[in-house]
Structures are given as C-alpha cells and as structure tokens.
Amino acid sequence: MDTSGLELRFRIGSIPVVVEPWFWLSGLMLNMQSMQGPRIVLWLLVFFVSVLVHELGHALAIHAFGARAAIRLHSFGGLTQPSRNLSRWRNIAMTLAGPGAGFALGALAMLALRLVPDLPPLAYWTVERLMIVNFFWGVMNLLPIPPLDGGHVLLGLLGRRYERTARIIAACAAGLIVLYGLSSGQIFLTIMFGLLAFQNIQTVRAMGSH
C-alpha cells in the first residue's frame, strides 16, 4: 500500500523530518490499555515528542561532525541517516547521543513534576508519561540488540570480526525481553523484540553459510 501521500513532512532548522502514518498506529499499539478520551491524543503527543527528541539527538551529533542528517519516524520508532559515513568512534558517539537526548528530556519532565507537583490531572499524567517513556525506552534502547542503539554500539566496539558473536548475544537478549513481554502481557514489546530476535538469528545463519 502506497502511503507516501499520508506522510507528515516538516523541517527543524536544516533537518528534514518525515513521519509515516504507521508511526501513529504503533504509538497506539504501544499503550492501548490506558487509552481513554483525551489521553489518546496526549499519549500520541508524548510518543511523538519522545521519539523525535531521541532522533534529534542523533541528528545534532551528526551535524556537529560536519555531515547532514535526515529523520524518518516509522512503524517501529525512528531512523536518522547521515549524509556520509562517520568514523568508528564518531559513529558510536552519534549513536549514544540519541538515548542521551531522551534521558535529558526525561530528567526535565521529572524536574517539572517536582517543581510543580499540583499540575492539573491530565497535565500531570502527560508529564509523568514523558518522564517514564524517556527513561524506560532509553534503557531499553541501550540493550545490545541491533538495530537498537546499544546493538550498534556493540557492533562498533567489537568490529566485523566479532559480529557473529555480537548477533548471538543480541538474539539471546531479545529472547529474554520476549519472555518478559509474554509474562507481563505487553503485546507490542513481545512482537517487537520477537522480530529483533528473529532478525539477528537470521543474520547469524546467513553469516554461517558463507
């Protein structure tokens, strides 16, 4: 299905941003249990801002290293592409800048809750979700599972020589998250990390066949 006409396109400074329609659907799937009334819109706002800030962290680091960046928000989060390849250590720094931006946003949300604890209920709920999402997904995103940021860092540190080992570690880690998702009833988490486990297992098999 061609959904290019439904994409949201805008720029933040010199950084082009594209939001695919499936991005919003994945946001709904991620937190369907608490979807009532205006919380649906507020949750999608939290989801959008959190993922965008994360990708902006990557993009600003890319700009700091003298390259251009483009952001795309898709069904499983976001992707920021540099206009050229970065060196090994710059690529690792760029990768870590995404979770770093998310942690900073989460810290600001936590500070806001402490400074203004008597916010209206919906405002408090929104800021609280902003804090939880950025801390929780920041940690999850640092897991050593490609294509998550932690997985890219692991591959960057180990190099191509040990990529097969890194992929095996990734598949095992993703499998543990799948077990957690099944036991806690988190369907989206289970599906997402199940796909990541399958992807890394397939990569290991392909590497073993050469």
Q: Is the pLDDT of residue 210 over 80?
A: no
Quote the number of domains for the chain. Answer: 2
Last residue of a domain, one of 100, 124, 141: 141
Predicted confidence band of residue 129 (pLDDT cuts 50, 70, 90): very high
Average pLDDT over residues 70-86: 94
Environment class of 209 (CB within 10 Å of its CB; exposed 0-12, middle 13-18, buried 19+): exposed
Last residue of a domain, one of 141, 159, 183: 141
Tell me, yes or no, whether 25 and 121 share the same domain.
Answer: yes
Mean pLDDT of the chain: 92
Tell me, yes or no, whether 137 and 150 share the same domain.
Answer: no
User: Containing domain of residue 61, as a range?
Assistant: 1-141
pLDDT value at residue 197: 95
Average pLDDT over residues 31-48: 84
Tell me, yes or no, whether 71 and 135 share the same domain.
Answer: yes
Predicted confidence band of residue 3 (pLDDT cuts 50, 70, 90): low
Tell me, yes or no, whether 122 and 169 share the same domain.
Answer: no
Tell me, yes or no, whether 21 and 117 share the same domain.
Answer: yes
Provide, rounded to the nearest whole percent, the portion of the chain with pLDDT above 90.
80
**pLDDT tens digits, one per residue of 4-35:** 678 999 999 999 999 999 999 988 887 766 66
DSSP letter string over the chain? ---GGG-EEEEETTEEEEE-HHHHHHHHHHTGGG--TTHHHHHHHHHHHHHHHHHHHHHHHHHHTT--EEEEEETTEEEEEESSPPPHHHHHHHHHHHHHHHHHHHHHHHHHHHH-TT--HHHHHHHHHHHHHHHHHHHHHTSS-TTSHHHHHHHHHH-GGGHHHHHHHHHHHHHHHHHHHHHHT-HHHHHHHHHHHHHHHHHHHHHHT-
Tell me, yes or no, whether 48 and 123 share the same domain.
Answer: yes
Q: Is the pLDDT of residue 146 over 80?
A: yes
Tell me, yes or no, whether 105 and 200 share the same domain.
Answer: no
Q: What is the pTM of this model?
A: 0.90
Tell me, yes or no, whether 42 and 66 share the same domain.
Answer: yes
Q: Is the pLDDT of residue 41 over 50?
A: yes
pLDDT value at residue 35: 65
Tell me, yes or no, whether 134 and 147 share the same domain.
Answer: no
pLDDT value at residue 185: 86
Tell me, yes or no, whether 109 and 201 share the same domain.
Answer: no
Tell me, yes or no, whether 130 and 161 share the same domain.
Answer: no
**pLDDT tens digits, one per residue of 89-99:** 999 999 999 99
Average pLDDT over residues 160-168: 90
Last residue of a domain, one of 96, 111, 141: 141
Tell me, yes or no, whether 199 and 117 share the same domain.
Answer: no
